[in-house]
């Protein structure tokens, strides 16, 4: 561990990524203090502090009493939270790190939304050094602004920042909620918007299908995602590796997944239909994780079939789903 990091302060710890990350940090022997704004973390061994990242005095106290900071709190599509969490909150954390000089590592959870994935053409694999062309929305904008602040606090003042730019995170049964048409819709595209009237009528009564999504030219749509367990791995590595300050790392599965292959696999496992749909607007994209693998030692363990298998096991076990949206400060 760099300079014997022991005490970690984490924001946004009650969310989809925060809870499993806290569990892994405690298991690794770290002392973890979590800032809880709305929800409890519920992880044994984590000290919970009620408060808000906008409270500069509280943030000074918490940052000044830690060896590392992990910033997970986010705004999603919330204008006020963009200002209070992504701007004021991130500034409070970085400025406290600068003034107290206590943290030896300050890590940001960013996302590939800054690269405009799906919405913008991506003719080559996306690397860390490519221009940020975020798609419209408060959440993508928030990550662009956060990354800029992290970079400038490193370059201007030497704050030991690291940015983990993660692909779309999947946990629990998220992938089944995304790939299938029955039940809760998770992410985009929204399948009902791509169906014709006959298809909507067929699946309106609860009949299920896995979507084999294609481009108008008939080619399968391909995109990158990442399992929450692999995101957790990247944070542990970013805490432990020497010489990674001031750097950004792309975090994703080894390969993008093919919707047609994934749909046929999920349909076979679940005993449901395969529904062919056409996406008229989305663009394929591939995340280049070479730098993360070479510098951090990142080794993603979960591919799309493994993710589907885990999601089915999760449903069969009847495990409650974690929180996954909104500001988890």
Other C-beta atoms lying within 10 Å of the C-beta of residue 155? 11
- Residue-wise pLDDT tens digits, 277-327: 999 999 999 999 999 999 999 999 999 999 999 999 999 998 777 654 433
| Banded pLDDT at 271 (limits 50, 70, 90) | very high
The model's pTM: 0.94
pLDDT in the model for residue 185: 86
**In angstroms, rounded to a whole number, what is the distance separating the alpha carbons of residues 138 and 86?**
10
Domain extents in the chain: 7-170+226-254+283-301
Q: What average pLDDT does the segment 150-169 reach?
A: 97
**In angstroms, rounded to a whole number, what is the distance separating the alpha carbons of residues 81 and 83?**
5
Say if residues 103 and 160 touch (Cβ distance below 8 Å). Answer: yes
Q: What average pLDDT does the segment 252-263 reach?
A: 97
Structure tokens at 73: 């709190």
CATH T-level assignment (fold) for domain 7-170+226-254+283-301: Rossmann fold (3.40.50)
Average pLDDT, whole number, for the chain? 93
Identify the three-state secondary structure at position 50: strand
Please provide residue 202's backbone torsions phi and psi, each rounded to the nearest 5 degrees: -65, -40
- Residue-wise pLDDT tens digits, 194-229: 999 999 999 987 899 999 999 999 999 999 999 999
Q: For residue 189, say if its preceding peptide bond is cis, omega within 30 degrees of 0.
A: yes
Asked whether residue 4 carries a pLDDT value surpassing 70, the answer given is yes
């Amino acid at each position: 561990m760099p300079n014997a990091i022991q005490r970690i302060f984490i924001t946004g710890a009650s969310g989809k990524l925060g809870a499993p990350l806290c569990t892994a940090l405690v298991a690794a022997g770290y002392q973890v203090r979590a800032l809880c704004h709305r929800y409890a973390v519920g992880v044994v061994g984590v000290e919970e502090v009620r408060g808000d990242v906008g409270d500069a005095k509280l943030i000074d106290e918490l940052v000044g009493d830690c060896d590392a900071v992990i910033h997970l709190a986010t705004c999603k599509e919330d204008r006020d939270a963009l200002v209070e969490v992504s701007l004021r909150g991130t500034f409070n954390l970085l400025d406290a790190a600068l003034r107290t000089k206590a943290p030896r590592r300050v890590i940001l959870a960013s996302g590939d939304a800054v690269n405009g994935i799906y919405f913008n053409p991506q003719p080559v694999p996306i690397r860390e050094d490519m221009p940020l062309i975020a798609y419209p929305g408060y959440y993508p904008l928030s990550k662009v602004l956060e990354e800029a602040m992290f970079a400038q606090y490193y370059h201007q003042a030497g704050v030991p920042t690291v940015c983990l730019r993660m692909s779309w995170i999947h946990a629990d049964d998220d992938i089944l909620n995304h790939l299938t048409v029955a039940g809760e819709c998770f992410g985009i595209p929204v399948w009902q918007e791509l169906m014709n009237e006959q298809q909507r009528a067929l699946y309106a009564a609860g009949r299920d299908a896995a979507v084999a999504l294609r481009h108008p030219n008939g080619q399968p749509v391909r995109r990158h995602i990442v399992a929450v367990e692999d995101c957790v791995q990247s944070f542990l590595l970013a805490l432990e590796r020497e010489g990674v300050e001031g750097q950004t790392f792309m975090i994703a599965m080894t390969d993008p997944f093919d919707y047609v292959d994934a749909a046929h696999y999920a349909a076979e496992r679940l005993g449901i239909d395969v529904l062919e749909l056409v996406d008229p607007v989305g663009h394929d994209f591939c995340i280049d994780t070479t730098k993360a693998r070479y510098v951090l030692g990142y080794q993603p363990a979960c591919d799309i079939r493994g993710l589907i298998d885990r999601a089915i096991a999760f449903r069969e076990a009847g495990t409650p789903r974690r929180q996954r949206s909104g500001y988890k400060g």
